[in-house]
């Protein structure tokens, strides 16, 4: 497993990270325990969750699974989305973040969060207030690094400029929607992150499963698969995308790899990307994702794949 710096920080994360939004729900505690043990054996040290995943049960499941192993992982969680019925049970205000972090620490059974991410940009809270709040959390030792998720490039740029002027901790990473068929971040976010050494962390690298090859042209989605009901996955099931997918699959197969592996490796070849977050529900998913981290595209290979996507 390769490890890369988490943006402009001193900590290193595995290039394949683990998304845990199904832990504590579809993935029960016994399977969570097995997946965590296997992840550590495979060298995966970056684990991502959020306070809203499974209504907090993802954090609870991780807290149990990581007993005695906490120091072996870089543990990331998020806050901002609505967690209760009250008017202040959301956002990135000082009021909410100071409560949310304590609840996450308790569920995770840990004394600190390695990467605390703002799950969305909060337009109702002054940016200066959010920056002061996360700076205080780092000073208190409850958080080691802070990041963002689903921010626009200008929002992240403004926040880190203010943090520099105010001598506060900057956001070291941005987690965003990025895969072979979703490339909007290439316009502004990726260039910003590359220029300012902010780590970019793609989520949904497999387009909800479309980039695994499990969905076939002209056939119904497999029973029980996400694509059976998910409008997100179904939106990629166009004739044009199936044509591109066929070419990508053939390209990968000719080199002894799967489309799953190519989807991860292509992302890892893009500027500023430090780790790819792959959600999973089975041990086999983890093993397949980890294997993808062993294939690093050359500049020439990256150009060939990008040319297929642009065709």
Active site residues: 53
Give me 282's structure tokens. 């089975």
Say if CB 3 and CB 15 are below 8 A apart.
yes
CA distance 280 to 226: 12
Say if CB 249 and CB 243 are below 8 A apart.
no
SS3 content of the chain, % helix, strand, coil (to 5): 45, 15, 35
DSSP assignment, residue 157?
Answer: H
CA distance 117 to 226: 26
Say if CB 116 and CB 143 are below 8 A apart.
yes
């Amino acid at each position: 497993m390769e490890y890369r710096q988490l943006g402009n920080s001193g900590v290193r994360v595995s290039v394949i990270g683990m998304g845990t939004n199904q832990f504590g729900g579809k993935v029960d505690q016994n399977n969570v325990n097995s997946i965590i043990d296997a992840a550590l054996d495979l060298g995966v040290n970056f684990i991502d969750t959020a306070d809203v995943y499974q209504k907090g049960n993802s954090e609870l499941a991780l807290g149990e699974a990581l007993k005695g192993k906490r120091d072996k992982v870089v543990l990331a969680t998020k806050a901002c989305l609505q967690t209760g019925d009250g008017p202040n049970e959301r956002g990135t205000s000082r009021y909410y973040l100071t409560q949310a972090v304590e609840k996450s620490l308790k569920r995770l059974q840990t004394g600190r969060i390695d990467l605390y991410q703002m799950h969305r940009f909060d337009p109702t809270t002054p940016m200066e207030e959010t920056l002061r709040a996360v700076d205080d959390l780092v000073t208190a030792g409850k958080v080691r690094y802070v990041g963002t998720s689903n921010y626009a490039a200008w929002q992240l740029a403004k926040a880190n400029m203010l943090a520099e002027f105010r001598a506060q901790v900057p956001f070291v990473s941005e987690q965003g929607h990025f895969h072979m068929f979703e490339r909007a971040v290439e316009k502004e976010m990726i260039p910003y992150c590359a220029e300012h050494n902010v780590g970019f962390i793609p989520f949904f690298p497999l387009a909800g499963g479309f980039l695994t090859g499990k969905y076939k042209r002209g056939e119904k989605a497999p029973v029980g698969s996400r694509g059976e009901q998910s409008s997100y996955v179904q939106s990629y099931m166009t004739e044009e995308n199936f044509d591109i997918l066929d070419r990508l699959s053939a390209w990968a197969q000719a080199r002894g790899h799967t489309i799953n592996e190519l989807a991860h490796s292509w992302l890892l070849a893009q500027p500023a990307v430090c780790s790819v977050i792959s959600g999973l529900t089975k041990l086999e998913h983890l093993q397949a994702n980890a294997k993808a981290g062993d294939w690093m595209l050359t500049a020439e290979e990256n150009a060939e794949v990008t040319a297929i996507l642009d065709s």
